[in-house]
Chain A
């Protein structure tokens, strides 16, 4: 209803605009924006596709194919972000031989925008991770690892705001507790900060200060656990400014995102696409100016 009124009220302006050619200011019903988020997690150095005899993974995966697919989607919608939720390293001899160089170089060629850091990304030590950074043309986002006493100091960001077609997309990273999971001589003096506290602080900053239209958390916490261990589902429920959590670590193959209610009663999507680059996750956000919106909230069509 509201939208229809708006269109009528601005009909004259629209006519003027098309004459004046200031088409970047969109005041017509096409004020709608479309942002595509593509994501992977736990690729674990799987560069080549699985062979025909490799059980349930047979003939799946492969960076070359992923590149074709991503390129195709970018042609459909240039306003696309490509993200990874960590554990880029470890799993094939490519990592043992080249230390992660090829993984980072390929992700750069595929034009990844950002990744967070998984526990296996420390497998060659924090120095091994640092040594490969020159091969990565994308951001490492992680807000709850304090690297200040390590070589990684200044190499990562808590968050970054990406601007696509006038839409501000705030992305931040959350990592898993390393103690007990990774040998401490590998992660050295990396300090683990409380994920709920950091996610609350950073997502609030992104929503309220940076005025982001979409807030995404790249997480390596894991989808869910028995007991009290913090997970993506728990993080979704315990915070209030996140729209989407892209997870990893537990190699959870979700057919579609899980919809959780956050602290404010709003929907949060939690997604994860298993591991080894067998799948690419895709989430499409459609946005509109507030005064264009129908009053019935966000329509979530997850299949």
Chain B
């Protein structure tokens, strides 16, 4: 009898608590946190690494297959106001983007301008591969073409005077500066810059959007997008040539 009574009490207690706990939400009583570094002390999961392996192999094979031959090391530090590697990149951009723009606008691009900081690696002597293009240009920036007034081109020259840097330009523009970097002559396709004309300048969407303070790109007369990544233009250029011919020349010099 006594046992039954205890069980009954227990049972009603259970019912009560059930009701209680269903009605009540849980509440957070304590929170703790930890930041865990993922380093060599953790052994990689074998199944995961096995799963990655074929993707990695295909990627590496494609990245490392030779597209062209580069006869000498090219570095962005090997010139004063123009460098062999910068010249190669600006000329390649011009060459690859021009057909796209010509088709769209009926006009040729006048020249290309990049930034010295945008050359992200050297180009070693030997085989040039897709990986070389990724090293030179790891970012996803696209080629854009801005139609700028002659006045804006003059602004660009003022910018270059102040920058005192080998910002890459394509061979269609020739800039001659004094020892103090002040520019005394600039020609586009052999002609003086005409304030009343407009010029098509190929560049990176990064610079167009204000990168490296290239403010002269702001509010162009027209802007043409190409949906063509700079890296892909380089890959296409490397694919199209057997041997890279890149030299320091007289396109942008101090006298």
Contact = CB atoms under 8 A, between A and B. Distances in A.
A27 B52 contact: no
B36 interface: yes
B201 to A, nearest CB: 20
Given A27-B14, A90-B140, A61 B38 contact: yes
Given A10-B13, A48-B56, A66-B38, A271 B140 contact: no
B105 interface: no
Interface stretch (B43-51, B84-92, B168-176, B215-223): B43-51
B45 A71 contact: yes
A298 B29 contact: yes
B27 A27 contact: no
Q: How large is the interface on A (under 10, 10 to 19, 20 to 34, 35 or more residues)?
A: 35 or more
Contacts of A255: 35
A59 to B, nearest CB: 5
A21 interface: no
Interface string A3-46: 00000011011011100000001010001110000000000000
Contacts of A243: 28, 31
A54 B204 CA distance: 26
A12 B33 CA distance: 37
Task: Give 4 closest A-B pairs by Cβ, nearest first.
Answer: A64-B44, A67-B45, A16-B10, A286-B30
18 contacts: A16-B7, A16-B14, A32-B29, A69-B38, A71-B45, A90-B140, A94-B55, A109-B48, A109-B51, A213-B26, A243-B31, A269-B31, A269-B33, A279-B37, A285-B30, A287-B27, A290-B24, A291-B24
Given A254-B35, A257-B33, A283-B31, 13 more contacts: A16-B13, A64-B48, A65-B43, A66-B38, A67-B45, A71-B45, A278-B38, A283-B33, A286-B28, A286-B30, A286-B31, A298-B30, A299-B30
